[in-house]
A and B are shown apart, each in its own frame.
Chain A
Amino acid sequence: MSLKRIKVLIAKLGLDTHWRGAITVAHILKNAGMDVLYLGNSMPEDIIEAVIDEDPQVVGLSSLGGAHLSLGEKVLELAKTHNLHNTKVYVIGGVIPPDDEQKLLKIGYDLVFGANATEQEIINGIKNKLSEKGLLTI
């Protein structure tokens, strides 16, 4: 029996234009057999709207512009308002100082990745979180 394909939505948080990381991770996840949707630059409201429309299991946000705390928190606040928090895995990555990593996990992100994250760390991290949250459907 094969696993149902994991659907991932990837977005760049806010106006930050550094999209190489996001697109690289998108390729990694696609090569790992996941369905990847790249939303491009989006504000928290647009991201949540896309989550409602597309219903992915994983939401991956990329931030290299320093807005990971302010906009990152807004995304999860909106997710909670729409009751979309427990039914998805939220991942954030980019240039994130060590102190902020803890803050993001506390806000409710399931995974935080820095620039040195390896392909396997990202893929396994996502799969483990999906199964922890009971979202790996067979």
Chain B
Amino acid sequence: VPTEAAHLISLRIQQIIQEETGITEVVDPLAGSFYVEWLTNRAEEEILKEIDLIWRMGGLTKAIEMGWLHRKIAEFSYTDYKQIQEKIIKIVGVNYYESEKEDHQIDVFRYPENAEERQRIKLEKIRSERDNELVADKIEKIKEAAKDGKNLFPYVVEAVRERATEGELFEAFKQVYGLWTPLVRI
């Protein structure tokens, strides 16, 4: 989780781009640039090739079930790492123009120590104030709908209106669908 200072830097960067550069005054500031158009076409070609491949595999769900997608990400991650190590991909300050003197003191966001305890108390309070039988009934309805392959959204909204928790919803889905483990072959 970023610290407040980190949030502020991020917000300020976006505000500078928005207010100082004038970029928002034109719909497409890079239109007509030969290089950008060429890059866009190339990216489009590559994307369509991948999408076509996924279609031929039987769709994205199939591609994930086969482990194709995760294998692809894994391969990319390793190649990416190798190229950073070999300085083919340059990252200023990390593998390029590194400086010994640079101060690496980083402020780290820390959860308050009693965060877990506070959340537990809050949950207990909610559970003691709501109609637990009604919540259990709504959760049952979600499970039935899930088994029937129905759109779960209305059922979830109803359960949450009665103050069902995220954990209870998750547990219901887990019971019906089970847990999925990505197929990662090393």
Chain A residues within 8 Å of B, Cβ to Cβ: 19-21, 23-24, 26-28, 30, 36-38, 40, 66, 97-99, 116, 118-119
- Closest chain-A Cβ to B113's Cβ sits at a distance in Å of 11
Given A24-B77, A24-B78, A24-B81, A97 contacting B184 (CB threshold 8 A)? no
Q: In the complex the two chains form, what is the Cα distance from A99 to B104 in whole Å?
A: 12
B186→A38 contact, CB < 8 A? yes
Question: Contact partner of A119 among B1, B85, B106, CB < 8 A?
Answer: B85
A30→B186 contact, CB < 8 A? yes
Given A27-B186, A118-B85, A20 contacting B106 (CB threshold 8 A)? no
B:73-125 near A, CB below 8 Å = 73-74, 77-78, 81, 85, 94, 104, 106, 108, 111
Chain B: interface residue count, which band?
A: 10 to 19
Chain B contact surface mostly:
loop
Closest to B73 in A: A20
A27→B184 contact, CB < 8 A? no
Given A97-B106, A97-B108, A119-B85, A40 contacting B74 (CB threshold 8 A)? no
| Residue B182 at the chain A interface, CB threshold 8 Å | yes
Residues of A within 8 A of B85 (CB): 118-119
Q: In the complex the two chains form, what is the Cα distance from A118 to B111 in whole Å?
A: 30
Q: In the complex the two chains form, what is the Cα distance from A20 to B111 in whole Å?
A: 25
The 8 closest A-B pairs by CB, nearest first: A20-B77, A27-B78, A23-B74, A97-B108, A24-B81, A26-B186, A36-B186, A24-B77
B184→A38 contact, CB < 8 A? yes
Closest to A29 in B: B186
Residues of B within 8 A of A38 (CB): 184, 186
Q: In the complex the two chains form, what is the Cα distance from A27 to B184 in whole Å?
A: 11
Question: Contact partner of B94 among A30, A40, A116, CB < 8 A?
Answer: A116
- Closest chain-A Cβ to B67's Cβ sits at a distance in Å of 12
Q: Told that A23-B184, A24-B81 touch, could you supply 6 new A-B pairs with CB distance under 8 A? A: A19-B184, A23-B78, A24-B74, A38-B184, A40-B181, A116-B94
Residues of A within 8 A of B182 (CB): 19, 40
- Closest chain-A Cβ to B56's Cβ sits at a distance in Å of 26
- Closest chain-B Cβ to A60's Cβ sits at a distance in Å of 12
